[in-house]
Amino acid sequence: MTDKDMNLFTSLRAAFPEPLDATAIETEDGLCYSWRDLERASAMLANLLESLALPPASRIAVQVEKSVEAVLLYLATLRAGHVFLPLNTAYQSGEIAYFIGNAEPAVVVCSTKNFGWVSKIAFQAGARHVFTLDDDRTGSLLQRAAHCSDQHQPVPRQADDLAAILYTSGTTGRSKGAMLSHGNLLSNARVLQSYWGWRSPEQGGDVLIHALPIFHVHGLFVALHGALINGSRMLWFSRFDARAVVQQLPRATVFMGVPTLYVRMLAEPALDRAACRNMRLFIAGSAPLLIETFQEWEQRTGHTILERYGMSETVMLTSNPYLAAAGPRRGGTVGFPLPGVALRVCGDHGQVLPPGEVGGIQVRGPNVFQGYWRMPEKTREEFTDDGFFRTGDVGLIDAQGYVRIVGRSKDLIISGGYNVYPAEIEACINEMPGVAESAVVGVPHPDFGEVGVAVVIARPGASPQPDAILAALKATLANFKIPKRCHVVPELPRNAMGKVQKNLLRDTYRQLFQPG
Ligand code: MCA
Ligand code: AMP
């Protein structure tokens, strides 16, 4: 480690195209934020954070609707040397209480409509300040920042200093906070800038359609950093709307989405070659892209989607090639390890497997996180002795070097790009009156790729109702975690050891959402 300042904000700021007058972000309502607006407004928010005299590297927890102001708060947190902790807007009070209790943020920022319950949780957990921020540029955060100077010198940071904590659920127990440093995020942003051939403003520049949420890696880091570190304009959508995005395609050059976004855009009659005439690159990730979607997209638009693979703990790991000279983009694969990333496939005893053999995917590189927040044991378990991180994904490297993900050793459902951990849902269902046991499995779904189905065993003499079970879950868990169906059955299939055979359950319910 050197003494060189590695504050991520400083590097992003260095790419803002001078003289800062051009539009950096244009919203769907036609609001334009210049690069100067980003510089000054993030300075004001950083000065507000500094005026609070927080301990160094305080966590700033944020659960707000998507807005440019939320981006400014993220940039301000980096500038002020604190640690950004974004939270999915779908999380309910029980989920938020866990995250805030675990991370002990000094500052919590929430929507005005949630202030009552969020502030109670926050102050009980020792937070010093709770601000509000709404998606119409109102709230106490901006009111307070309005009094602050718009000049601010970023706090120097070292590569290993934390920039963000992203909670990612565990297969057992509660969510873990993946600690990402300035060095992790900056190295990944720089690699992607070059690997995906971002065009500098002098070369005519790129225009990114940003239609993803900004509380996960895909929207917050891959998309946002990609545009900022390249000085590229963003067309900003506060929520994904397939029709509106297709309408804006002729004004854009780059799009990033989870597979559901591509499926929904394909259902738009206006999606054709003409709409995509200025597009340079379509990127997909966060969940497996079906080969049918990949092929249909190619036929309709003339563009080959570039699929890549990453995790909250590692940011981006692999990518299909951008340049034709490096090879074709192959559907059903996630491409090659990115420059600087070492990726290997290992067997049950840790032995490195040859190409073509299926095993656990392990990775090492400057992008791999610093560990789980306050979970040194868990962190140690997930790393090998020679410093590789066990991803929990199962795959192979083919003869041409492309990585193919074939499954997961972690019991995880990826629904519309969001991770859902069956263990969390099962624990909630098992607490319900009349329930003896439950199993939640993922099955194919035409829109979300995969969705959860709950299979429940009743206690003797009880008759729990599927609709009541789902309604009770809805009252406690984020909406995307709720299984789309619930079945009460007499027994669960088990192996000789008594373990529930989820693969058999998946087979039983595989056709539930398939047309015809
Ligand atoms: C919404 N619903 C869902 C999902 N989203 N159900 C299952 N899975 C989902 N993903 C349900 C809601 O519970 C609700 O049901 C109904 O759909 C309508 O909700 P709404 O919010 O209006 O839905 P939407 O606006 O149509 O949202 C769908 C979406 C969204 C646009 C696909 O889920 C989305 O933005 N997904 C992207 C997630 C993402 O960015 N992932 C990246 C993670 P009800 O009415 O019954 O309540 S980062 C990552 O994975 C790694 C690092 C990586 O590699 O990138
Ligand atoms: P998260 O914990 O939200 O960061 O999700 C990371 C997980 O998403 C990975 O471990 C993979 O299981 C999955 N994932 C991300 N990108 C892809 C992809 N292109 N194909 C298949 N799975 C993916």
Q: Is 258 in the pocket of ligand 2 (CB under 6 A)?
A: no
Specify the CATH architecture of the domain 1-14+33-158. 3-Layer(aba) Sandwich (3.40)
pLDDT of residue 204: 85
Rounded CA separation 76/41 (Å): 8
Q: Do domains 329-408 and 412-509 have the same CATH topology?
A: no
How many angstroms does the Cα of residue 479 sit away from the middle of ligand 2? 20
How many angstroms does the Cα of residue 286 sit away from the middle of ligand 2? 4
Quick one: tokens of 347? 């067997």
* Radius of gyration for the alpha carbons in the chain, expressed in angstroms and rounded: 23
Give the CATH fold of the 412-509 domain.
Answer: GMP Synthetase; Chain A, domain 3 (3.30.300)
What CATH number does domain 329-408 carry, 1.10.3720.10, 3.30.300.340, 2.30.38.10, 3.40.1190.20? 2.30.38.10
Quick one: tokens of 23? 């539009």
Q: Residue 157: how many CA atoms within 13 Å on its side-chain side?
A: 30
Q: Which ligand is nearest to the CA of 334?
A: 2
- At residue 314's C-alpha, the angle toward residues 288 and 103, to 5°, is 110
Rounded CA separation 376/380 (Å): 6
Q: Is 219 in the pocket of ligand 1 (CB under 6 A)?
A: yes
Burial of 62 (C-beta count, 10 Å sphere; 0-12/13-18/19+)? buried
Mutate to test the pocket of ligand 1, among 286, 408, 477, 486 (most ligand atoms within 8 A of CB): 286
pLDDT by residue for the chain (516 residues), tens only, comes to 456 889 999 999 999 999 999 999 999 999 999 999 999 999 999 999 999 999 999 999 999 999 999 999 999 999 999 999 999 999 999 999 999 999 999 999 999 999 999 999 999 999 999 999 999 999 999 999 999 999 999 999 999 999 999 999 766 667 999 999 999 999 999 999 999 999 998 888 999 999 999 999 999 999 999 999 999 999 999 999 999 999 999 999 999 999 999 999 999 999 999 999 999 999 999 999 999 999 999 999 999 999 999 999 999 999 999 999 999 999 999 999 999 999 999 999 999 999 999 999 999 999 999 999 999 999 999 999 999 999 999 999 999 999 999 998 888 999 999 999 999 999 999 999 999 999 999 999 999 999 999 999 999 999 999 999 999 999 999 999 999 999 999 999 999 999 999 999 999 999 999 987
Q: Which ligand is nearest to the CA of 170?
A: 2
pLDDT of residue 308: 98
pLDDT of residue 171: 60
Q: Is 172 helix (H, G, I), strand (E, B) or coil?
A: coil
Burial of 127 (C-beta count, 10 Å sphere; 0-12/13-18/19+)? buried
Q: Which CATH code for domain 196-303? A: 3.40.50.980
Domain borders along the chain are: 1-14+33-158, 196-303, 329-408, 412-509
How many angstroms does the Cα of residue 250 sit away from the middle of ligand 2? 29
How many angstroms does the Cα of residue 238 sit away from the middle of ligand 1? 13
